[in-house]
Copies of this chain bind each other. A is one copy, B any other.
Amino acid sequence: MAKHFDTQALDRYFAAMADPTRRAVLERLTQGPASVSELHAPHAMALPSFLRHLRVLEEGGLIATEKQGRVRMARIEARPVRAAEDWLAQLRRQWETRLDRLDALSEALEQTAKGDAP
């Protein structure tokens, strides 16, 4: 691909996104930073399991957490979402370019065929 992508980062980003709980956390964090308990509240899941999901997100670089007093706050990181979106957009553009070329070729052939007709 034309653009350079950080392969290991994309591995981590996509793996982190491949889970509904982790995607829900990312969606929640688009509304602003939240504490770990706020993030956990909507999920019918034991806290240790939930914390494992947060750890995957943090180790993957998709969120950052920070202790504020006795509360751990989390916020979303912009870069992973942009990088994953860029990779997908480039993939899509590549085959759209190819399909456009095929369209142009097929039109040119049609015109030639018409020109050749009596």
Contacts and interface: CB of A to CB of B under 8 A. Distances in A.
A30 B94 contact: yes
In terms of DSSP, what is the predominant structure of the interface of chain A?
helix
Contacts of A19: 11
A64 interface: no
A110 interface: no
Contacts of A32: 98
A92 B29 CA distance: 11
Contacts of A92: 78, 81-82, 85
Interface of A: 1, 7, 10-15, 17-20, 23, 26-27, 29-32, 76, 78, 81-82, 84-85, 87-89, 91-92, 94-95, 98
